[in-house]
Amino acid sequence: MRSIIKYFTQTAMEIIRKIINHAYTLCVKGAFRRFGKGSLIDWRLERFVGAKHISIGSDTVVHEYSRLMTNCLIEGVTPELVIGNDCNIGSRAMITACRSIVIGDHLLTGSNVLITDNAHGASTYEQMQLPPLQRPTTSKGGVCIGKNVWIGNNACIMPGVTIGDGVIVAANSVVTKDIPPYSVAAGVPAKVVKSCNQQ
């Protein structure tokens, strides 16, 4: 009897959660530059900033406690964040663009993933004397992630990086350089540990 009650309780909670998520998405989707059909944002999203510069494709899900942000912090640059179709952004992800982040279709991320195109200041003696929040925002370039990419838990995708189609980024990796298509990258900094290009 307890197992039956537990099953129906869990099922009811899941239905309620879906209804709340759909209602929340309906309320906020108009703030975005583009918001595709069938996409969903969890109502527990931690925050989104600069939604007018954020485009989300169709059938994409952004899970709980994540942050999507664009900031106009670089003079003369209008930021953009583009997330493709059928992407699954794991919980507690942080995606922040001051220049450009473009994510292809079918991205899957684990939890606690960071994707950023910017940093708090340059690593110079003069700037390092300042508190980090007082340093001017810098960017080494935008981030481009191809289609069918899988990024594991706690991975960091840093500024100026291009990740090719089909890439797997292992958990806890820090990607600081381009990763070619159909390869596996792992480590800090991430290096290609396997290449699966067609013969």
Catalytic residue among 22, 63, 106, 120: 120
Cβ atoms of 165 and 149 closer than 8 Å: yes
For residue 164, the tally of other CB atoms under 10 A from its CB is 19
Dmax of the chain from CA atoms? 68
19: enclosing H helix or E strand: helix 2-28
Q: Strand 191-195 and strand 183-186: pairing?
A: antiparallel
Backbone angles phi, psi at 98, to 5 degrees: -110, -15
Verify whether residue 22 is a known catalytic residue.
no
Could you list the active site residues? 120
